[in-house]
Amino acid sequence: MEKHLIALQLSHLLGEEYDREWVYNLLETPKQSDHGDIAFPCFQLSKILRKSPAAIAEELASRLKHETIEKVQTAGGYLNIFLNQTFIAEHTLKQILSEKSSYGSNTNGKNKTVVLDMSAPNIAKPFSMGHLRSTVIGNALANLAEKSGYTTVKINYIGDYGTQFGKLLAAYKRWGKEELVKADPLTELTRIYVQFHNEAKEDPRLIGEGREWFKKLENQDEEAVKLWKWFKEESLEEFENIYRLLGVSFDLTRGEAYYNDKMEETIQLLIEKDLLTESEGAQVVRLDEEGMPPCLIKKSNGTSIYATRDLTAAVDRYQNYQFDEALYVVGHEQSLHFQQVKHVLSKMGFTWADSVKHISFGMMLQGGKKMSTRQGKTVLLKQALEEAVAQAQSNIEAKNPSLNNKEETTKQVGVGAVIFHDLKHDRRNDVEFSLDDMLTFEGNTAPYLQYAYVRTCSILNKGTFELKNAAASLNDEDAWPLIKQLRLFPETVKQAYSSYDPSKLAKYLLDTAKSFNQYYASKRILAEDHLNQRLTLIFCFSIVLKEGLSLLGIETPEEM
């Protein structure tokens, strides 16, 4: 917040040709505290103004004044700005005490709607660690959007259609047993799906069988539809158990198959716009001008493809929600697909096509390699969550066997560990699946943050803190690093959403918790002198930490 104010002040001093954004982008945060809280390098100005950086810094230092500034110094062409700690501490604590869990909210999305396409597992396949990424990134972005004033619509676009279901139907007809599927649906269906791909390497005729069964499904063949519906019901029940454990819910769960009878309207519009071209018997939209391969709309055998369904779904969503943003939280391997969809929508004349955004993310790797259901190389999310909760229970039993609400706490800690392990990484990077890293209860993990929150609860209880007695005035130099972190929370929320990257918030929370732990180690918190001021600071930290974790989809136990 102060950086924006100082950027505005410096912009006024320098003249209208140096706008606030230009100045803001030059501001730095010094690594050493004796260099101030904010630094402005004058080297770029030196070339423009034909003065030495030191001379420019001296001139600005003599004129820069604001109630948030304690003093200004110059050093080596830098303007070093020291903020008024007492003023800012009081202002920050009063704001948090007044707004509580609303602290950090903004109105950037007021009267706007964002639709999020997220999670989207495939039926008849176990919920793998690969789908965890879309689920937790999408959920965190939805929470950040709501914190920014948007109306959100979370859509779980289930993969319940496509050629893979023809392969599954063919596999079931060859090797499936009804009693085994009923006993453990997803395990058995995955087994025969993997078997299909393994045997197809030796017997290519199987691929033809898969295509035939998908053709039957598209033509509403009674047996194909009956089996497909059965597979879908069993899958959705299993998925729902996992969503409950993750604490994730949706405004709409809808499969690709929903658009089967609506795609013809999309195809007719493409024909009307003279966009469809025949290519080797298939129907495509050419994207030569965009430097892309053609977007396939209908295969040569007449069956549809997911691009057709995605085009139809996008139009349907805009008609229903009039969205300002449509975010597709899908792995980066689908980047070309979403670029094609966006360009085709634009060619169709939809002015809102630019609002469609692909929020790509890296892969979940195992041993440095991509997980694959068809090759039988995947880690089941359910298994990972169960092991995380079991590890949490083991740790708690060893350290605090008499803990109240033990079952609920172990779930919060174990599930939180899995979610945070994903979200602490920049979403664009690949993430190596590692239960050991995920379940480490020290370091850059959710349990580390949860324990910091538990510590605040203990301190506030021992100090008998009461909100009505909160004291926002604080003159404590040791508290300054923590105050500065608390001050950054609203800006961090904005940045995390505007960049569609929850890792910015995750990293902020780790830095803020470290500042708290350093303050805790430097002070006798429960000493009588100025006790209420210290407890107020810790209470405000607890509000920010709990709200920040909640935005990431992580719960905070009060005991561990």
* Alpha-carbon dihedral angle through residues 254, 256, 258, 260, given to the nearest 10 degrees: 170
pLDDT recorded at residue 365: 83
Q: What would the two tokens of residue 555 be?
A: 């719960």
Report whether pLDDT(13) > 60.
yes
Q: How many angstroms separate the Cα of 376 from the Cα of each of 172, 195, 371, 379, 537? A: 17, 9, 8, 9, 52
With cut-offs at 50, 70 and 90, classify the pLDDT of residue 383.
confident
pLDDT recorded at residue 504: 98
Report whether pLDDT(367) > 80.
no
**Longest CA span, the chain:** 84
pTM for this entry: 0.92
Q: What would the two tokens of residue 486 be?
A: 């608390």
pLDDT recorded at residue 441: 64
With cut-offs at 50, 70 and 90, classify the pLDDT of residue 192.
very high
What does the pLDDT look like over 285-315, one tens digit per residue?
999 999 999 999 998 877 778 899 999 999 9
CB neighbours (10 Å) of residue 293? 12
pLDDT recorded at residue 384: 84
Report whether pLDDT(158) > 70.
yes
pLDDT recorded at residue 305: 82
pLDDT recorded at residue 372: 59
pLDDT recorded at residue 378: 60
Q: How many angstroms separate the Cα of 535 from the Cα of each of 86, 122, 441, 479? A: 17, 49, 26, 12
Angle, alpha carbons 407-411-417 (nearest 5°)? 145
Report whether pLDDT(230) > 60.
yes
Q: Which of 312, 314, 278 is nearest to 296 (CA)?
A: 278
Residue that has been written with the tokens 């972005």 in this structure: 141
Average pLDDT taken over every residue of the chain = 93
- All structural domains of the chain, each given as residue ranges with its CATH number in brackets, are 2-83 (3.30.1360.70), 113-260+313-370 (3.40.50.620), 381-551 (1.10.730.10)
Q: Which of 247-256, 300-309, 388-397, 427-436 has the highest mean pLDDT?
A: 247-256
Distance CA 525, CA 518 (A): 12
Q: How many angstroms separate the Cα of 375 from the Cα of each of 195, 204, 210, 383, 560? A: 9, 16, 17, 19, 40
N residues, the chain: 560
Query: Percentage of the chain with pLDDT > 70?
Result: 98
Report whether pLDDT(199) > 90.
yes
What does the pLDDT look like over 464-492, one tens digit per residue?
999 998 988 888 999 999 999 999 999 99
pLDDT recorded at residue 480: 96
What does the pLDDT look like over 523-546, one tens digit per residue?
999 998 899 999 999 999 999 999
Distance CA 460, CA 2 (A): 30
Angle, alpha carbons 294-299-303 (nearest 5°)? 140
Pair 192, 125: CB distance under 8 Å: no
Report whether pLDDT(379) > 70.
no
Please report, as a single letter, which amino acid is at residue 73. Answer: Q
pLDDT recorded at residue 376: 52
Question: Which neighbouring-strand residues pair with 151?
Answer: 113
Report whether pLDDT(447) > 80.
yes
Give the burial class of 169: count Cβ atoms within 10 A of its Cβ; 0-12 exposed, 13-18 middle, 19 or more buried. buried
What DSSP string describes 134-169?
Answer: HHHHHHHHHHHHHHTT-EEEEEEEEB--SHHHHHHH
With cut-offs at 50, 70 and 90, classify the pLDDT of residue 119.
very high
Q: What would the two tokens of residue 329 be?
A: 């939280």
pLDDT recorded at residue 377: 54
What does the pLDDT look like over 79-117, one tens digit per residue?
999 999 999 999 999 999 999 999 999 999 999 999 999
